[in-house]
Structure 1
């Protein structure tokens, strides 16, 4: 029995020993991490102001006082910022800044309005459109005002912000997208009318009403247009023999490049008639001039009738390939495509024979600029090539037509649903700015993932994107530090515009420069509080001379081998020897050959170094504790009296019986139902818990405000005298309790009670009660009415002034253009008419 007892005692000692080893190991790891963080301060190696602010968390001191010893680049938040030698007004520490410019509410819900219009509920403010589209709707055959054109719909929020960012600091903003109900749709059907597409044209004519009815079931604000194309009317694309130019094939009309047959309209019967009456034509080679047609259909916004706020669909139907930039040289056309609109009054492309085909990148650029979704509806044998083309044109898709285009309605419907149920965010930022998109989309798991694309979106669904921006590098050209970034959903003419300013340099690097300054021994420029020396001078004030040696030889003795920093980052290497920084407090000393030691960077407890001189001393950055104290900050003691609540004598009631006493402080218990808190774990969050607010309420009222139910004698017996403060705040969240009340006069007051280090009850009470005040409503109403009247008059005067200036400028511009008009001959200088020579070999002439 005795042996078993001894064995259990040995096991207990072994366990205690292992527990102690683990405890000290954890403390050692934490200590090493803290020291490593201190020695790897990224600011100490930054020698100029722009290098300093390009490093996150660093600030620059450009004070001209004590230029030999002032620490210029430093971390204000770690651990003791060197502000003691720098005037706070001379510190440059720019912060990220965002200003909201336009933040109109989303069009989340719609209600039926009068006169066939629509009212969007929840709309507030004014939308800031990202596009530059401003064409009129005349000739479109579709009325209804701005709302019918989608002008009052907002699907992206916010619309514009101004942002200032420091380099290498991530900054996140939120962007919201919703698909508005009954959003307008413009569908322009661009068809290849070469001879091989004749049966497709007839089928499209028969299905015109069905196509319009199907789309109107999705949105009542639907407009339909039609255009056709063949190819450039030059050899070798089209036969230029006069007879073939008039009729290249049986039942064909003269060839042409592109023609806008019907501007976008709601007249579906007219669409069917236009398609039916359109005649096919013919050309020589298999590829067609579809790129010319796409470019004109995209950029001729007024002539086509594209609305500003609408989902724009361009259906491109063909059974052949396409010509692209460079092919025009075969016909002697070398002028590049200018991306401009060249349609005459009849809708024909006038520059077809004078300009080359556009390139794929040009098509992509103008499709993105005008927010158009291109749908390639092609036959089976051409699907592969247009599928590859789709990958290079943003927002485009590809579908397979049947041999006679009988499935065109189903194809367009399918592609439109795929486009409208998906949102994909893009941006146009330069390589200097890294942009990432994060979203939970509409996933049920509510988990945020890195993605710029969300699917399965329905009308009214709200999708949030978190946009993370980071300036990864400062541009070499200072003019590039200002950028206008557009973040937009593909295929929609709405976006978030970010006016970005990169904070990459300091104002002091451009202002107040002193060239060959006496402060730099006349061998350098004094700026931002430092000297920029001219070779071969060096040193903080250019006081040293290399004398033919390199800088590394002169500063080798100053490098601390443990961290690789010159003078450990806390001194200046003066001609090969460290001069440590002098602290304002004479008791704080930096020492060592490389300034590696100090007596003030040890851990602190409650603002005191090593918990105060009675607990320990700081020696070369490490606390050496006195007797009865231990820990990295010498704050841990074995005495448990500090864990007893005042008035409690029972030693078993440490921490009110609701916690554990560790190092003289209570560690409170917690579980799933709640937790205990307070200096003595005397408070809790459980259902049946209560505090002492009501207990101290009457005393606070009588002593602080001379109110309440206590008599003067009872008030004098209160166990405390409150301290008056202007604003009552909880400083120590674990030990202080906030008590807010309303008294019988309906006045609000609050106070905080806690126990100090000597376990005495302390109370801080609000200086004055907050009582309700009367409001002079009549004056406010009259002031608002007067302000509205004056503002209206000012707006009318401004409008009249602007219209007068605009009319005068337009008239002057008209007169100037009339004087400079010139005729264009329209001749091709390198084209010559073919000649024919006939000879009869049997004719021998006259005898």
Structure 2
């Protein structure tokens, strides 16, 4: 048992130690000992530079000008000389959001242009609004698998043009539809390269199929339904060898060949219809094709993908990037046998949808309608071209929910003309200071509008005290700016008072036989230039050696600062490490400080002997205030109880006042006591004043125990009566049922059925005798 207790104790100490370390890690680091204002403000958002002339004292390095605002204030730096650049959000363009698409300029995303000033490590936030405008135009490109297994689907697709346009006209007046088809790469092992099979890849020679091809753009986006039906009706089925198709090749070419397809800057939908899986990057090696796709358009004048056999299939990641860049939302209409594969593909491609296609594609119109509604009601806000060193997070305020700190903004179920808000938070690293003015874009997937965000790093100090060859710098041997001298070549020191070609002597930096500058700095020009957190003529004061509280020196700037090895606490803290708060709010209770059973030290209760918990309100074995004075309350008010024979002597310091129950019914009952006596309950309130106890006792109105007994007896009587009624009812029903059953049995025995054969009855079988059959 001793070993177990010891192990638990060690484990508890380790947990405390680790939690303490974690807490320390979350505390902001002290500002670094920097020698310039720009390095100071880049070190941490809480660091401030003091540019006051002659601010540093004897032995203090100029790097001590970099500190937190409370520390600099305590050291005597006024607000006028504090360099503390703050981030800024400037909304440059913010056009109102449109309600419908009938206007010349449709605005669904605001603001349109934002200018920011960012300080390294400081978070800056601005708001983005989005509202779906009614009637936003749609471009739909139908991309169909023409391998032989889709033969029956092609016949239905030839009739779909008007149906698709009719469905989309319910949400917008401007609809354009295009068409393209694909099979696979025209080399082994994807297609049969025998000449006869290349001419007619159909399984039966009596059936005509068009030669196989990779991808062919048939019709650019148009609102002419007659032309659409003519061009699609002229298409014929083709064929290939293996099951996977070249669909990813076709999607990529349809996405990047903007001029051939005729994409407008509107909602772009690409419907991909197939009944099989797809080839992806790496599969081309089966045919000796190893060059990765370059992501460019390779369609000839006839709309054919001419370099299909040169480039490998695209990877899913490359395809997702292309679709996102071109703002195209794919809808995968596939049969049930490959539905799980395309559901997995949708998880990798943003703003995509998948639906189950019937074997003959008869439900494709409803599938497109449902997929479009799902895509258009989902709002994805994302960033594009985000520079290195810039970090971003989104808080999404949706109609039914709110999410915070996500890598992208996302709201689902957004209706037309319903506005959603996003809070965009930015912060930057120090390395972004080297690049000057930068920009990136925010956009909602599926829409062509963008927010242009320009940001300017705040990495340099703009001080108003600049002097070239200042007299403050030893008569013009340096430039003065932000409170310090930048010496010309050959000179150094706070005021450029030392020549670098002359050796310094350490004699003036040594005291009492110690090391130069006590080993806490370096000797420059016969003076000590102390290290960080050290000051004094000989660096004798260490401002980092004070006691720590909660992982910080002197409890942190909000509690006190370290001055030459000892803590100087702020007005509301005390103690050697400023860890003791003079506030008493955490000790207050309705019964007084620490329930009257302790004293408040450092805003925590120190309980009297026997009492414990946070407010000293528990004491096993101790009498409570109610128990302590209940005897005197009873004997003086009602002349009953254990003290009734000795009440005057035992309760000489107690004053009792009677009051009616009606007079106290509306008062606050907190602090009132109820104690059980021989035959009743007494209610009273106790206060103490300078050793005299005042008890306010409520008069008895009735014997509580008699009342309780009467109520209990009444409840039991009603319960027994109800139980008796239920038993009588059940017995009556049982007797009646038995009587009816006996009568039924008697009547059943009297029944007599007619056994005569029905003259209309005919047997289900017929027997025919062979007249030539001779039976032995």
TM-score by length of 1: 0.52
Match of 1:453 among 397, 410, 415: 410
Matches within 5 A, 1:433-832: 433-443=390-400, 452-471=409-428, 473-475=429-431, 478-479=434-435, 482-504=437-459, 554-555=519-520, 569=533, 572=535, 576-578=539-541, 594=564, 596=566, 603=571
Could you tell me whether the CA contact under 8 Å between 1:43 and 1:52 is conserved in 2? yes
Contact 1:567 1:573 in 2 (8 A): no
Q: Distance in 1 between matches of 2:353 and 2:561?
A: 71
Q: Distance in 2 between matches of 1:202 and 1:363?
A: 30
Alignment partner, residue 57 of structure 1: 46
* Alignment match, 1:312: 268
Q: CA deviation at 1:326?
A: 2.4
* Greater CA drift, 391-400 or 181-190: 391-400
Instruction: Give the match for residue 204 of structure 1.
Output: 157
Partner of 1:276: 233
Check the 8 A contact 1:187/1:314 in 2, yes or no: yes
1:344 corresponds to 2:300 = yes
Choose which of 88, 91, 94 in structure 2 pairs with 1:97: 88
Going from structure 1 to structure 2, the CA distance change for 1:592 and 1:178 (only over 3 Å counts) comes to: closer
Determine the C-alpha separation between the residues in 2 that align with 1:252 and 1:212: 29
Give, in angstroms, the shift of residue 276 of structure 1.
2.2
| Consecutive unaligned residues in structure 2, runs of 5 or more | 1-23, 499-503, 522-529, 544-559, 584-776
Could you tell which deviates more after superposition, 395-404 or 232-241? 232-241
SS at match of 1:298: helix
The answer to whether the 8 Å contact 1:74/1:81 transfers is no
SS at match of 2:219: strand
8 A contact 1:155–1:494 mirrored in 2: yes
Distance in 2 of aligned mates of 1:239 and 1:551:
90
Q: Secondary structure at the match of 2:293?
A: coil
- How many aligned residue pairs are there? 499
| Residue 376 (str. 1) matches residue 332 (str. 2) | yes
Match of 2:366 among 410, 415, 418: 410
The answer as to whether partners of 2:184 and 2:212 remain within 8 angstroms in 1 is yes
Deviation at 1:304, TM superposition (A): 0.6
Q: Matches of 1:513 and 1:288 in 2, distance apart?
A: 73
Mapped to 1, the partners of 2:562 and 2:146 lie a distance apart of: 89
Contact 1:171 1:468 in 2 (8 A): yes
2:353 is matched with 397
Q: Aligned to 1:219, which of 151, 158, 172?
A: 172
**Would the alpha carbon gap of residues 425 and 591 (structure 1) be closer, same or farther in structure 2, given more than 3 Å must change?**
closer
CA distance in 2, matches of 1:528, 1:375: 61
**Contact in 1 for aligned 2:520/2:531 (Cα 8 Å):** no
Instruction: Pick which of 205-214 and 267-276 moved more.
Output: 267-276
Any conservation in 1 of the 2:327–2:447 contact (CA below 8 Å)?
yes
Aligned partner of 1:239 in structure 2 is 192
- Take 2:166 and 2:575, find their aligned partners in 1: how far apart are those partners? 87
Partner of 2:181: 228
Cα drift, residue 41 of structure 1? 8.8
Q: How far did 1:454 drift?
A: 1.5
- What are the residue-to-residue correspondences of 1:96-245 with 2, within 5 Å? 96-109=87-100, 118-119=102-103, 147=104, 152-245=105-198
How far apart, in 2, do the equivalents of 1:230 and 1:216 lie?
Answer: 31
Kept in 1: contact 2:291–2:310 (CA 8 A) = yes
| Aligned partner of residue 73 in structure 2, secondary structure | coil
- Does the 8 Å CA contact 2:179/2:220 hold for their aligned counterparts? yes
Distance 1:526 1:79 in 2: 21
Cα pair 2:168 2:175 within 8 Å, conserved: yes
1:270, CA displacement in angstroms?
Answer: 2.7
Out of 278, 281, 299, the position equivalent to 2:256 is 299
Q: How many Å separate the matches in 2 of 1:100 and 1:478?
A: 25
Write the deviation string for residues 689-712 of structure 1: whole angstroms up to 9, x where unpaired.
xxxxxxxxxxxxxxxxxxxxxxxx
The match for 1:72 is 65
Between the aligned partners of 2:561 and 2:345, the Cα distance in structure 1 is: 70
How has the CA–CA distance of structure 1 residues 103 and 518 changed in structure 2, closer, same or farther, with 3 Å as cutoff? closer
Map Cα deviations across residues 605-645 of structure 1 (whole Å, 9 max, x no partner): xxxxx9xxxxxxx99999xxxxxxxx99xxxxxxxxxxxxx
Question: Take 1:178 and 1:333, find their aligned partners in 2: how far apart are those partners?
Answer: 46
Q: 1:319 to 1:201 in 2, by over 3 A?
A: same
For residues 484 and 157 of structure 2, the distance between their equivalents in structure 1, rounded to whole angstroms, comes to 77
Query: Per the alignment, in what secondary structure is the counterpart of residue 199 of structure 1?
Result: helix
Kindly state the Cα deviation for residue 194 of structure 1 after the two structures are TM-superposed: 1.0
SS of equivalent to 1:94: coil
Rounded to whole Å, the distance in 1 between the matches of 2:261 and 2:244 is: 25
Please tell me whether the aligned partners of residues 166 and 502 of structure 1 are also in contact (alpha carbons under 8 angstroms): yes
Q: Secondary structure at the match of 2:158?
A: helix
Cα 1:532–1:457, aligned 2, differ >3 Å: closer, same or farther?
Answer: same
Could you say what secondary structure the match of 2:348 adopts?
Answer: coil
Contact 1:75/1:81 (8 A) holds in 2: no
> Which stretch has the larger CA shift, 43-52 or 374-383?
43-52
Q: Distance in 2 between matches of 1:422 and 1:544?
A: 74
Distance 1:550 1:256, change over 3 A: farther
Q: Distance in 2 between matches of 1:513 and 1:236?
A: 78
- Output the CA distance in 2 between the equivalents of 1:504 and 1:477: 6
Mean alpha-carbon deviation: is it higher for 179-188 or for 201-210? 201-210
Is 1:386 paired with 2:342?
yes
1:674 matched to which residue of 2? none
Counterpart of 1:206 in 2: which secondary structure? coil
Q: Is the 8 A contact 2:89 2:126 kept in 1?
A: no
Of 317, 340, 345 in structure 2, the residue corresponding to residue 361 of structure 1 is 317
Cα deviation for residue 359 of structure 1 reads 1.8
3-state secondary structure, aligned to 1:162: strand
Counterpart Cα distance in 2 of 1:44 and 1:232? 62
Task: Name the SS of the counterpart of 1:167 in structure 2.
Answer: coil
Aligned-residue offset at 1:475: 2.5
Q: TM-score, normalised by structure 2?
A: 0.57
Aligned equivalents of 2:575 and 2:307: distance in 1?
85
Using the alignment, how far apart are the partners of 2:121 and 2:482 within structure 1?
22
Q: Distance in 2 between matches of 1:422 and 1:591?
A: 53
Distance in 1, Cα, partners of 2:562 & 2:286: 81
Evaluate the alpha carbon distance shift between residue 551 and residue 307 of structure 1 in structure 2; reply closer, same or farther with a 3 A threshold.
farther
CA distance in 1, matches of 2:193, 2:515: 78
**CA 1:465–1:348: 2 relative to 1, 3 Å:** same
Alpha-carbon deviations, 1:258-303, whole Å to 9, x = none? 1111111112233233222211212222211111111111111121
Aligned residue among 224, 234, 251 for 1:267:
224
Distance 2:458 2:434 in 1: 10
How far apart, in 1, do the equivalents of 2:78 and 2:540 lie? 22
Deviation at 1:461, TM superposition (A): 0.9
Inter-CA distance 531–348: structure 2 relative to 1 (3 Å threshold): same
- Structure 1 residue 573 displacement after superposition: 5.6
Deviations 1:504-551 (A, max 9, x none): 45579xx9999xx999xx9x9999766999xxxx9989989899x999
CA contact (8 A) 2:390 2:432 kept: no
Q: Distance in 2 between matches of 1:551 and 1:477?
A: 38
